[in-house]
Amino acid sequence: MFRIAICDDVKEVCDEIKNIILENKELQNEKIEIDIFNNGETLIEELRENTQYDLIFLDIELGEINGVEVGHIIRDNMEDYTTKIVYISGKNSYDRQLFDVQPIKFISKPIEEEKVIKAVLLAIKISDKENKAFEFKNFKSTVKVLYSEIIYFESDKREIKIVCVKETYRFYGKMEEIKKHLPEFFIQPHRSYIVNYKQIKHFKPDELIVFTGDRITISRSKRREIKEIQIKYEKKRMEDEFD
């Protein structure tokens, strides 16, 4: 089941997006469930009840709590870095702080059917990739961790530490072998670290800051490479967001 929340203070906008999704032929084979919220407060309350959504269409210009604040509550307070967010707005310009929430797209009003469907298909595609897991042996048991839950790997001699959203694991292995089995959105800024690009909150010339607040060193020899990777990903993200 792919769960979608639509949050806009205009009921007609919520109904329009819902009908576009449910009536689209490309999505007929997907099992989709949609909930509607007309303010940020009720959406946050539902999320705090541990309701999980794969995708949230979120109006920027909400009432008392606007969409920017809701996005930061989801990312920073709830530490939810996996739910996909699509911002909706009647404006064509966006504040830089929106990008800290890492939305996958922006959709302008009036709503265009094609852009809604592209957003849903992109969210499904990303979720399918992230729902694959990294597998390793921890003592005598085999552990599987979703790629989306991994923040970074850190090596200390023969031991590997995996820092995840909710837990930290340790096992014996080699970084070069681990890198071979990871998707391309994992990058290596230092020989002792492999980082999930999607878990990076800030880039600095000599370090990365992930959503947990941990600081990952970028080695001098890797700085140019990491900068090029950042430019490539940000360019692609901008193209996806405004496509």
The 3-class secondary structure across 22-75, one letter per residue, is HHCHHHCCCCEEEEEECCHHHHHHHHHCCCCCCEEEEECCCCCCCHHHHHHHHH
Q: When comparing pLDDT for 36 and 181, which is higher?
A: 36
The pLDDT tens digits of the residues spanning 129-141 come to 888 889 888 777 8
Any idea which fold 133-231 has?
A: OB fold (Dihydrolipoamide Acetyltransferase, E2P) (2.40.50)
2-130 sits in which CATH class?
Answer: alpha beta
pLDDT at 243: 64
pLDDT at 137: 85
Question: What is the value of pTM for the model shown?
Answer: 0.69
pLDDT at 242: 61
Q: Are 69 and 199 in contact (CB under 8 A)?
A: no
**pLDDT greater than 90 at residue 112:** yes
Return residue ranges of the chain for CATH 2.40.50.1020. Answer: 133-231
Averaged pLDDT of the chain: 90
The pLDDT tens digits of the residues spanning 171-202 come to 999 999 999 889 889 999 999 999 999 899 88
Rounded Cα–Cα distance for residues 187 and 231 (Å): 13
Rounded Cα–Cα distance for residues 60 and 98 (Å): 9
**pLDDT greater than 70 at residue 93:** no
Show contacts of 166-169: CB within 8 Å, 24+ apart.
169/136, 169/138, 169/143, 169/145
**pLDDT greater than 90 at residue 119:** yes
Return residue ranges of the chain for CATH 3.40.50.2300. Answer: 2-130
Q: Are 162 and 150 in contact (CB under 8 A)?
A: yes
The token duo for 4 is 């979608």
Query: Residues 158-162: what's their mean pLDDT?
Result: 93
